Amino acid sequence: MFATWLDGRSPATLRAYCSDVDLLIAWLAESGIEQPDDVDRLVLRRWMASLVADSLAKSTISRKAAAVRSYFGFLVGRGYLDVDPSARLSAPTASSRLPDIVSAADLAVLLDDPIDEDDPTALRDRVVIELLYAAGLRVAELCGLDVDDVDLAEGTVVVLGKGSKERRVPIHERCALVIERYLDSARSLLMGEDSPPGALFFNRRGRRLGPRDVRRILDARSPSPTHPHALRHTFATHLLDGGADLRVVQELLGHSSLATTQLYTHVSKDRLQRVYDSTHPRA
C-alpha cells in the first residue's frame, strides 16, 4: 500500500524508499517495537544515531529520513496513526557538491570522433551521448524514451520527468540527424524477439536500455572518468555561459523550483565577468 501511495515518484526513488522503510521496520523489530503506535520521536532519533554509527553517507541518511517521513505521513493520512512521530525528524544536510562539467577536449572525443556507422552499437552510443548533452536529460528520462517521444521534424523530444511531469525539450539539428540515422538502421538491428516495441534504445540483450548500460557506454567512450549526470550539468552550464535565462534553464531541466536550478548550475567566472562588464556603469 505504501508503494502505491508513492506512485508518481521515479522508479529509483520508489525502490529506495520501500527498501529504507523495510530496513527501519526490521530495526524496530530488533528493538522490540512491533506496532507503529509504539514509535515516537525518541525512537526515531535512536534509529538515526544507529545510521550515523554505521558511517553511512550524509546523503544516504538524508534519503532514509525522507523515506521514513513519507511512510509515517502515509500512516497518518490513512488513519493508522493519530500523531506523526517523524514530523520534526531532522537529518544531516547532504552535500550539495555537483558533478564536474565535461571538459571541451572530452566532449570533442565523445561527440566528434569518427565512429563506424555500420556498427549499430556504436551509432546507438553516439545518439545516447548526443541526447544527454543536447537536451540535458536525466539518465532515467533518456532510458524511458520511446520512438514516439521524438519529433525530428519539430526538433524536440517529450520527456517524462520526476513526479510524472511531462516536458518538451528542443534538440539541435545535428542531434536530430544522428537520431534519424540510428532509427533508419541501427535500432532494428538491436531489437530482439522480446524487445519492447516502442522503446528508443536497446542494450545488447534487446531489452530497454537501463541506467547501468548508459554508465557503461560513457565508461567505454569517455577519455576521462565521468557520469551521465555530468553531461546534464555541462548542458546547463553551457547554456548559462551563453547567456540563457535561469528560468529557461529551469524549464529545460524540469526543475519544479528555481532554487534547485540555482544550486545545480555552475556559473563560470568568465560569464560573471562578462555580465559585470556589460552592466556595471563604470566597467
State CA 17 to chain mean position distance: 16
Active site residue 58: no
**Would you state the cell numbers that stand for residue 55, as one nine-digit string?**
558511517
β-pair partners for 146: 199
* SS3 per-residue string spanning 134-147: HHCCCHHHHHCCEH
DSSP 23-45: HHHHHHHHTT--SGGG--HHHHH
* From 167, 207, 216, 229, active-site residue: 229
Active site residue 255: yes
Active site residue 233: no
Q: Are strands 166-170 and 150-151 parallel, antiparallel or unpaired?
A: unpaired
CA–CA dist 134, 170 (Å, integer): 8
Active site residue 162: yes
Active site residue 232: yes
CA–CA dist 96, 53 (Å, integer): 22
* From 17, 133, 182, 264, active-site residue: 264
- Name which of 65, 79, 89, 51 is nearest 17 in CA terms: 65
- Name which of 140, 142, 143, 173 is nearest 156 in CA terms: 173
* From 63, 126, 138, 238, active-site residue: 138
Contact 140, 12 (CB under 8 A): yes
* From 41, 162, 215, 271, active-site residue: 162
CA–CA dist 248, 255 (Å, integer): 10
Amino acid at 151: D
CA–CA dist 179, 127 (Å, integer): 6
Give the active site residues. Answer: 138, 162, 229, 232, 255, 264
